Structure 1
Amino acid sequence: MNNSDTTPLCYANTSTQFVYAPEMGKVYFSATFTTLGLISNLIAFIVLITSCQRTKSRSRSFFLIFLGGLVVTDFMGLLVTGSFVISFYITHVDWRQIDPACHFCNFMGMSMVFYGLCPLLLGATMAMERFTGINCPFARSSNVTKGRTISMVLMVWFFAGCISLLPLTGFGSYHIQTPGSWCYFNISSERRDWAFSLLFSCVGLISIAVSILLNTVSVVTLIKVCRGPDRSQRRRDHEVEMMVQLILIMTIATICWCPLLIYILKSSMDVLASHEKVLFYIRMASLNQILDPWIYILFRRSRLRRVKSLHCPDCFGRRACRGQIHAAVDSLRHLESDL
């Protein structure tokens, strides 16, 4: 296609030459990938609802709200983007013919940006919440409510949505990408495209950096508290469970998203984007939406305690013995007082 005035912007030549090639992918791969992710997130959502109904800890209930927002985001992201990709491989439709006004392409691009940024921003928000809960528990307990927690999730969605809408205002642009099954923002030397690419990659990388920094401090603080003189006065089972889940969420997000974010950052500077590499990194980032829910399914407190009992079977026996000894001592004291 020629880059002329009659060519819609989303179909014009970009930094990566568009190639209509429906044979590049298989519908079975996309359908399996999407179905697995949807089922995983659905199971995780049921697990979170059950955990929320059983939990008596305020801090854990607030953390579960963030996890619920993350599950809903991952589920909807797979549902929306997967529907476009699967329909393309089934029908081999050419969007340039059925969508000359770029409505579908813009919506697909907005969805890719929105559902890509939300997990990273939510991960950073959860890291902030746990940092405050562990390092400033008294200040947090008086300021944080369930309504405020829900508002924070909504603010993350609103912020990511505002960023995804920027190309529609002229700050950046969405373009169809090879093989024709998806649209994404353009990576080029044009000022607005370059600025949007830089914005997207920086927001993602900063979110990951904030998560790593705050989670590291929270883990160190939690270890100190658990080993401190008040370790027998404060139960830390919930805190340990939440930090294990949060560390795994951060690790998966870092592994899945950093290659794409760094590549976008480098390509926006050098304008050396390759559609093969972008497609590979996008698929790698999409794994985050499938792996996330298994963290909530597998790494619950009950399972962590079961693993601990397998590795240290005497721990629970010693704990039970200590409880029996304390009970016997209390009984002897009551007997002496009666005598």
Structure 2
Amino acid sequence: MINLGDSTKSEDATSAMNPTAAGLSMTLGVLSNIIALFILSKAYARLRRRSKATFLLFASSLVATDFAGHIIPGALVLHLYSNGVSQERKDSDACCLLLGGSMVFFGLCPLFLGCAMAAERCLGVTRPLLHARLVSTTRTKMAVVTIWLVALVVALLPISNLGEYTYQYPGTWCFIRVLRSSKATDVVFVLLFSVLGLTSLAMSLVCNTISGITIVWRRSVVLHPLTIFGLMSVRHSYSSSVPEQDPYRFLMVMGVRLASYNQILDPWVYILLRRAVLRKIYRLTTGRTHIRGSTFRRWEISSFQNSEKNTVKRI
């Protein structure tokens, strides 16, 4: 009699060892982010001195980060596939360190940037005058650089012996060691990664709830399973035997796949599915020049303009 559970695991293992999915994900993500960067560059050149420029800077930084997040880890994963899939790889070679650091860096950056965007919009809605006084292009650039530096410092912590990167099942990607009798430093590292990510998600939810905008929250939840699966796996490693670790290996594979889908969805949620872009596509495909504003109302990138109008009305 065939064991259906073993059959399912075998199919999942075969899928995990297939480079086609990784190549398609990388290609689709790169194309989506290139289109989004082109649209953002044109919008930023036109709105450089307006209040929308701050949001465009954050959005451009997010898309550029996601673009690099497809190119660098994707190239390393395809390199591992080209060398042959092996579940007995060494845990501390240069390729694994670079790939693991990339996974942490490009995992945290989108969450931090999404949180910063939510905070900027919330400030524009609730305190428009304070927003106008505090938020500037220069400070926005400094905030983006600070976010990148913080994520980089976290990704480089294994260099100072806080945590360790190791090959994950099925030997085609690297991440923080969460199975195989993790040490205390590994637990601290995965807790730090998860707490930073979940805190950013929580702050985004609070800011978007206050400002009444939920777009950022929709895209942020995609990476949520990776942080949860990591915590579940490292907890399981202290209480279970090795044969029972297979389900957690598959959870980690699922989590990293969802994380890659997150970087594909970013440009679509933020840029390519905006009503202004859809309006232009509608005009190009139908040939109509006059469109009812109630049907295709322009989605304003920054909330400052609307909030400023509301403040004037109150006065």
TM-score interval for Structure 1 and Structure 2 normalised by the shorter chain: 0.7 to 0.9
1:28 is displaced (CA, Å) by 2.1
Q: Secondary structure at the match of 1:183?
A: strand
The 3 A distance-change label for structure 1 pair 27 and 270 is closer
Residue 25 of structure 1 and its aligned partner are, at CA, apart by: 2.4
What's the CA shift string for 1:178-205, capped at 9, x where partnerless?
Answer: 2221111011552111111111111111
Indicate the residue corresponding to 1:191 in structure 2: 184
Q: Conserved in 2, the CA contact under 8 Å of 1:22 and 1:89?
A: no
Alpha-carbon distance change, 204 to 52 in structure 1, aligned in 2, over 3 angstroms: same
Deviations 1:248-293 (A, max 9, x none): 2321221x12222122223333436621110111101110100111
Task: Output the amino acid matched with 1:50.
Answer: K
Matched residue, 1:297: 272
Structure 1 Cα separation of the partners of residues 204 and 251 of structure 2: 26
Which residue pairs with 1:117 in the alignment? 108
CA RMSD of aligned residues (A): 2.8
Aligned with 1:67 (options 35, 39, 59)? 59
Q: Unpaired runs of 5+ in structure 1?
A: 1-20, 220-242, 316-339
What is residue 211 of structure 2 aligned with on the other side?
218
SS of equivalent to 2:166: strand
The letter of the residue matching 1:252 is R
The farther-off stretch of 87-96 and 167-176 is 87-96
String of CA shifts for 1:138-168, please: whole Å, max 9, x gaps: 1221222211101100000001111111122
Return 5+ residue gaps in structure 2 as ranges. Answer: 1-12, 284-290, 298-315
Quick check: 1:59–1:133 contact (8 Å CA) kept in 2?
Answer: no
Question: Does 2:233 match 1:259?
Answer: no
Contact 1:204 1:261 in 2 (8 A): yes
Contact 1:201–1:262 under 8 Å retained in 2:
yes
Query: How far is the alpha carbon of 1:59 from its aligned partner?
Result: 2.2
Instruction: Provide the rounded CA distance (Å) in 2 between the counterparts of 1:88 and 1:127.
Output: 37
Of structures 1 and 2, the larger Rg is shown by 1
Amino acid at match of 2:268: W
Indicate if the aligned counterparts of 1:48 and 1:68 stay in contact, CA closer than 8 A: yes
Distance in 2 of aligned mates of 1:215 and 1:27:
38
The 1:314/1:23 distance shift into structure 2, 3 A limit, reads: closer
Q: Percent identity?
A: 35
The TM-score, its normalising length taken from structure 2, stands at 0.77
Aligned pairs for 1:23-62 (under 5 A) are 24-55=16-47, 58-62=50-54
Residue 150 (structure 1) aligned with residue 141 (structure 2): yes
Across the two proteins, how many residue pairs are aligned to each other? 267
Q: Distance in 2 between matches of 1:215 and 1:300?
A: 20
What is the distance in 2 between the residues matched to 1:135 and 1:58?
19
Instruction: Report the alpha carbon displacement of residue 53 of structure 1 after superposing the two structures with TM.
Output: 1.8
TM-superposed deviation, 1:54: 2.1
